[in-house]
């Protein structure tokens, strides 16, 4: 069957190719009667053109932009993939923008997404409060606080719960001095995990001291040296809660390099329950996030927002997490 061309549309509509092009791109001068005539012809010529006509009639692009700080991160890539699948089932395409945690790059992507007339935007994580200057585009935040809270909905794992349960699990397994390993940059999710960790210490009558409980990791190549100095300074540390599995694996490697054994000398719990947790030796205890639920809630709320044009009730939706205990934090 011959594919319909723009020339066929023009001929069937009784107008020029240029006029059809202006209507399809919604650019230039044409009467409402001409627009309707062309759209009617487009709808009659098959599914592909029917979708274009539907977009024009509803003033929608059926596309959604996703801002993600690091697509190589297990949690981010997992949730983005599931969001994309949910949106695809609803007839939406996605434009995935990897910002590299760069605020200038993020701003450039936002401007690009607006120029492409996306119907909505999903913003995933970030160190700073999300500032959005366009009131005409619906957006949903995952693990990131917006500056204008009345303008959106925030969907987040219960990071506080996960960190609290992980830390208390270490204590219940006999650890007297659990330390926390986290990045020197602080996202909203990391702050919640830090708070959960400290509250678990407090509940169990362990006094928090920054110099002996907090180990920070940046982009340094000498992590093993920093870890060794930390352990020499705080010889009571017997366990670690790492705020993600990547850091936990970094800890695994450095502790083994220093001749330490896991879990005999140090017990470790991570966060994210990435594939690394299953295949490490010993297997890593970790906090599992429900990425299926996060993706479903995000897409549902964004599509509702797009359809209604407003957030009905601002709220932060917390998705429960689950501590998965494996060999790295168990007693032998």
8-26: pLDDT as tens digits: 888 888 888 778 777 776 5
Identify the burial level of 7 via C-beta atoms within 10 angstroms of its C-beta, where 0-12 means exposed, 13-18 middle and 19 or more buried. Answer: exposed
Question: Which residue matches tokens 């990425």?
Answer: 291
Whether residue 81 contacts residue 97, with contact meaning beta carbons closer than 8 Å, is answered with no
CATH of 60-332, one of 3.90.550.10, 3.90.226.10, 3.40.50.300, 3.40.50.2300: 3.40.50.2300
Tell me the per-residue pLDDT of 278-331, one tens digit each, with 9 for 90 and over. Answer: 999 999 999 999 999 999 999 999 999 888 877 656 789 999 999 999 999 998
Question: Which residue matches tokens 């650019």?
Answer: 27
For residue 197, the number of C-alpha atoms closer than 13 Å in the C-beta half-sphere is 26
Is-same-fold flag (6-58; 60-332)?
no
Cross-sheet strand order for the sheet of 239-242:
214-217, 178-183, 239-242, 267-272, 285-288, 322-324
Beta bridge partners of 270: 286
CATH of domain 6-58: 1.10.260
Give this prediction's pTM. Answer: 0.80
Listing DSSP states for 85-130 in one string gives HHHHHTT-EEEEEE-TT-HHHHHHHHHHHHHTT-SEEEEE--SSPB
Average confidence score pLDDT of the chain: 88
pLDDT the model gives residue 287: 98
Domain ranges (residues) in the chain: 6-58, 60-332
């Amino acid at each position: 069957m011959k594919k319909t061309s723009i020339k066929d549309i023009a001929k069937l509509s009784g107008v020029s190719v240029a006029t059809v092009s202006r209507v399809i791109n919604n650019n230039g001068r044409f009467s409402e009667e001409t627009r309707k005539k062309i759209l009617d012809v487009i709808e009659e010529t098959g599914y592909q053109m029917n979708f274009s006509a539907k977009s024009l009639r509803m003033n929608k692009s059926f596309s959604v932009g996703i801002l993600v700080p690091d697509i190589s991160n297990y949690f981010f890539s997992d949730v983005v993939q599931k969001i994309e699948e949910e949106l695809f089932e609803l007839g939406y395409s996605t434009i995935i923008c990897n910002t590299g945690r760069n605020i200038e790059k993020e701003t450039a992507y936002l401007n690009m997404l607006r120029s492409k007339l996306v119907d909505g935007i999903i913003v995933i994580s970030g160190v700073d409060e999300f500032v959005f200057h366009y009131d005409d585009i619906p957006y949903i935040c995952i693990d990131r606080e917006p500056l204008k809270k009345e303008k959106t909905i925030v969907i987040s794992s219960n990071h506080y719960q996960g960190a609290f349960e992980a830390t208390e699990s270490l204590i219940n397994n006999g650890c007297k001095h659990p330390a926390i390993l986290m990045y020197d940059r602080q996202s909203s999710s990391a702050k919640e995990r830090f708070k959960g960790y400290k509250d678990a210490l407090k509940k169990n009558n362990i006094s928090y001291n920054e110099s002996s409980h907090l180990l920070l990791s940046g982009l340094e190549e000498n992590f093993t040296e920093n870890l060794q100095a930390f352990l020499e300074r705080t010889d009571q540390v017997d366990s670690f809660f790492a705020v993600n599995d990547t850091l936990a694996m970094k800890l695994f490697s450095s502790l083994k390099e220093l001749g330490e054994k896991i879990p005999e000398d140090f017990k470790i719990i991570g966060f994210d329950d990435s594939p690394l947790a299953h295949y490490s030796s010993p297997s890593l205890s970790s906090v599992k996030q429900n990425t299926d639920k996060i993706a479903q809630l995000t897409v549902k709320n964004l599509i509702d927002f797009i359809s209604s044009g407003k957030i009905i009730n601002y709220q932060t939706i917390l998705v429960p997490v689950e501590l998965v205990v494996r060999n790295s934090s168990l007693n032998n």
